[in-house]
Structure 1
Amino acid sequence: MRAQHPERGAAAVEFALVLPALLLLVLGIIDFGRIFSAQQTLTYAARAGARVMVLQNSQTAAVAAAQNAASPLGQLPSSSFAVSPATCTSGTQVAFTVNYTFSGTGFFGTFPLQGKGVMLCGG
């Protein structure tokens, strides 16, 4: 006699139903980790740029320091960096911002990210 297995393909069907949700979850975790790392890098780069601006009072040196600190994200153009105010006078605050557009796996789109560092001149 032949044994009947009415649930023979049930595991494959269940796996096919769960696989899209599982892949979406895994891709979301990967992208979140990469976005978090990129945000931390941008914050570090902005602080490095603000630090150099406060110490050397030179925008070009500050942008170079921030570009070096943001190198794990690739070569960012100079237009990604902004310093306010342009010169550092004693008692004022310098705000250094870094803008970056993160493109992850392509499944979730792009995210604009910004790092900001603020330091006191002459402090």
Structure 2
Amino acid sequence: MVNNNRDHGASAVEFALVAPLLIALLLGILAFGHAFHVQSVLSNAARDAVRVVSLANATHETDAHSAARQTAITSAQPSVSLKNDHINITPDACGAADNLTSETATVTITYPLELLGGIGNITLTGKGTMRCNG
């Protein structure tokens, strides 16, 4: 078999052409996996918080809302650093005497997520809904 000197280094050139594509694919998979994890955490935190709001028998809704906010923040840690302004709780009258079980409580968490490498931002949303008073 004759060894052709022109083929020396061909595999290195081919690898140099394919390596950026493989690295970009790997980083994309990691970014998607991270975003999927954060989305799951937000959904679970919203579900935990809406349970607190809908089952609260507080006379003041601010007590139930602040307990729900704290529950959501605790449920999301350490994966996500939630703040009070990320959490929206409706309605204002859930648990009041004039509000029977016909209404539903909703907790919506919106979280801005910076993608890996700082190439952009996306906003992820977790939402939980439950009938008032159980």
- Segments of 5+ residues of structure 1 without an aligned counterpart are none
Residue number in structure 2 paired with 1:99: 110
- Within the candidate set 48, 51, 59, 2:65 is matched to 59
Structure 1 residue 72 displacement after superposition: 2.6
Amino acid at match of 2:100: S
- The CA deviation string for residues 3-54 of structure 1, in whole angstroms up to 9 with x for no partner, is 6521111011000000111011000110111011000000000001100001
TM-score normalized with structure 2 length: 0.84
Identity fraction in percent: 37
Structural mapping, 1:82-121, within 5 Å: 82-88=88-94, 89-91=99-101, 92-106=103-117, 108-121=119-132
Partner of 1:30: 30
CA distance in 2, matches of 1:122, 1:78: 24
Root-mean-square deviation over aligned CA pairs: 1.5
TM-score normalised over the length of structure 1: 0.91
Deviates more, 1:8-17 or 1:88-97: 88-97
Question: Structure 2: where are the runs of 5+ without partners?
Answer: 59-63
Runs of 4 or more off by more than 4 Å in structure 1?
Answer: none
Structure 2 distance, partners of 1:22, 1:6, is: 26
Q: Secondary structure at the match of 2:116?
A: coil
